[in-house]
Structure 1
Amino acid sequence: MAGEKMEMGEVEASLMSSESKPPAARPPNKFERLFQPCLAELVGTTFFVFIGCVSVIENVESAGRLQPALVHGLAVAVMVACMAEISGSHFNPPFTLAIYLCGGMELNMVVPYLASQLVGGVLGAAMAKGMTSRENFAKAHGAAFALLQPDSNIGGAVFGEVAMTCLVTMVVLLGAVNTKTRSPLVPFMVGCTVIINILAGGDVSGTCLNPARAFGPAIVSNYWVYHWVYWVGPIAGGLIAAALVRVLLGDRKIRLILK
């Protein structure tokens, strides 16, 4: 009897130990490693730009900057939360460059991500054109950034794009890449940062912060006045944020000096 009890106990223990072991995780296949992340960037950027452009084209004047600010910020938060486990939810070329420079992605994915984001920007702007009336589309230049004119303060606009993109990129890097400060609230944090940036600087530069968001409407509406501002400013801001994290703010794994 004692022997039988010992055997039964060993069987039960072996069953319990086998049941407690989680199934082995299957390594991602080629589609999940290479193609699915690019598709996520394409789809995410498309819908972000689409929703953002519609919010500008159909903006109620009495709402001022509040309507575009809320729409862009909430759209970013939703898309980041949905796509984070597929592609990392960049949807913005400066984010991709900064994340690569801080060790958050492989070099071979940088160009495919950038291409997916720019194509997504064009598709999103085209969808916005198909949804809105011709009159409103023409009046808003297809949600291209038409705020800057020849008599505008170009220096202030460039500085604003640099500073505000630096801020939102630091939120992305510290909230999603840096191990010490990583947070599950990063979609909320990024969305809120976009909202406050647009509310603060919308009348200065239009608060683009994203070349894909500027490129798509510029292509669809053929509006290129001071378009370079929305490439130089955001890319410079993203690079400055990456430098700050790499040199000063990152953890020991990311920081290049003073380890």
Structure 2
Amino acid sequence: MPYPFQRVAVGRADEAYHPDTLRAALAEFISAIIFVFAGEGSVIAFSKLSDDGSTTPAGLVAEALAHGIALFIAVAVASNISGGHVNPAVTFGALVGGHITLVRGIFYWIAQMLGATVACGLLKYTTNGMSIGVFSLSSGVGLGNALVFEIVMTFGLVYTVYATAIDPNRGTLGTIAPICIGFIVGANILAGGAFDGACMNPARAFGPALVSWTWKNHWIFWVGPLIGGGLAGAIFEVFFIEARPTHERLPTSEI
């Protein structure tokens, strides 16, 4: 039986400046802007239209719909360039299974966080300084509760990514991968949004936290998603994908 961490590939130094890596990072940056601008923008917009904002049932549904649609688009437009991760937890899950090198993954993480930050900065400007909401725990929700929420929800997200987008045996299922990924995020927001905001994406938490400079319990939205994403990648790789190295390699003719 294969062990996923045995497939982790560090990558070569020249991969850091290879055009394929830079193009993929740019695609991740743009997709992160698309996703976070629409997702966070929906939270701000509903807060403007309603006194209680996204804490109401209607607000939660609107937030889930906006995030699901935005992620569907963000994944779809980047899928043929970078794989459409748009999320450090997805990138980490792919790294665990050997589907991306560490060097390339670091570029993805930086691009995703920069994209989320730029999106929040643009929202701050275009809304004339309205407050950028950060992820936080609802009343009565403890740190352990929120951590498990994030692990479970992100596990479902990354497992969906593996089944529909990464698995070499996915067949025609790959054509609907972006919408499946958007659906699971929307569903998870409906399930966990009232408890801890249902982040599932460290970059999605990082952008608002940096722009608002609010870091209370921020670690939960990194540790939970990374654990959940890593577990999903490891389990799917060990039990459902054949034991062969599949991490992305640079074409030697282009180096």
Query: 8 Å contact 1:158–1:205 — kept in the other structure?
Result: no
What is residue 185 of structure 1 aligned with on the other side?
Answer: 176
TM-score (structure 2 length as normaliser)? 0.81
Over the aligned positions, Cα root-mean-square deviation in angstroms equals: 1.9
Superposed CA deviations along residues 189-225 of structure 1, whole A, max 9, x for unmatched, are: 0000001000111111110000000000001011111
Which structure exhibits the higher relative contact order, with contacts defined as CA atoms closer than 8 Å and separated by 6 or more residues?
2
Q: Which residue of 46, 49, 52 maps to 2:39?
A: 52
Match of 2:111 in 1: 116
Structure 1 regions of 5+ residues with no counterpart?
1-29
Give the direction of change, closer, same or farther, for the CA distance of 1:130–1:174 in structure 2 (3 Å limit). Answer: same
Equivalent residue for 1:98?
93
Moved beyond 4 Å, runs of 4+: none
Q: Does 1:176 align with 2:165?
A: yes
Tell me the distance in 1 between the aligned counterparts of 2:69 and 2:245.
30
> Would the aligned equivalents of 1:167 and 1:241 in 2 still touch at CA under 8 Å?
yes
Deviation at 1:32? 4.4
Identity score, percent? 35
Structure 1 length as normaliser, TM-score? 0.79
Cα distance in structure 2, aligned partners of 1:239 and 1:31: 27
8 Å contact 1:148–1:154 — kept in the other structure?
A: no
For 1:87 and 1:95, the matched residues in 2 are separated by 12
**CA shift digits 1:210-245 (9 cap, x unpaired):** 000000000101111111110111011001101111
1:148 offset after TM fit, Å?
Answer: 4.2
Deviations 1:78-131 (A, max 9, x none): 111111111111110011111122232233211111111111111111111112
Q: Separation in 2 of the partners of 1:203 and 1:254?
A: 41
Shift of 1:31: 6.2
User: Of residues 48, 70, 74 in structure 2, which corresponds to 1:75?
Assistant: 70
**Larger Cα-atom Rg:** 1
Amino acid at match of 1:229: I
Displacement of 1:48: 1.0
Q: 2:133 aligns with which of 143, 157, 163?
A: 143
The 8 Å contact of residues 113 and 206 in structure 2, kept in 1 or not, is answered as yes
Cα deviation for residue 246 of structure 1 reads 1.9
**Are the counterparts in 2 of residues 54 and 132 from structure 1 also a CA contact under 8 Å?**
no
In the aligned structure 1, how far is the partner of 2:213 from the partner of 2:95? 31
Q: Is residue 43 of structure 1 aligned with residue 30 of structure 2?
A: yes
* C-alpha contact (below 8 Å) 1:46/1:124 kept by paired residues: yes
SS in 2 for 1:105: coil
Pairs aligned (count): 220
Mind listing any 5+ residue stretches in structure 2 that lack a counterpart? 1-16, 247-255
